[in-house]
Amino acid sequence: MLVRIVKLTFEIEYIPDFLQIFEVHKESIKDFEGFISLELYQDKSNPQVFFTYSHWDDESALNNYRNSEYFKAIWSRTKLFFADTPEVWSLDKL
């Protein structure tokens, strides 16, 4: 199993926009082959910082999602709200 962690930092005024996008699309992501789960976290000390944790069968499943037109459409909207460059980690669950 592959765990993908993405750190996202948003301009404070765009947090409601991001949360709306996340809420609208989180169910549709479940339809992608190899998807297991998705969680969203907000930093307690800095409310501009969010983390997504997604679980996938393997790297191929994640890449199929990342290369989809669906992901590209969501990402193109979301990145307009960034206050900092996203950070990304792909991990193997032991």
Supply 8's token pair: 């996202």
Check pLDDT > 90 for residue 6. Answer: yes
CATH number of 2-92: 3.30.70.100
The ranges assigned to domains in the chain are: 2-92
The answer, as to whether pTM is greater than 0.85, is: yes
- Cα three-residue angle 41-29-82, rounded to 5 degrees: 50
What is the average per-residue pLDDT within 36-53?
Answer: 97
Alpha carbon of 7 to those of 18, 31, 51, 60, 82: distances in Å?
13, 23, 5, 21, 11
Q: Is the pLDDT of residue 94 over 90?
A: no
pLDDT at position 93 is 84
pLDDT, one tens digit per residue, over 80-89 is: 999 999 999 9
Chain mean pLDDT for the chain: 96
Averaged pLDDT for residues 57-66: 97
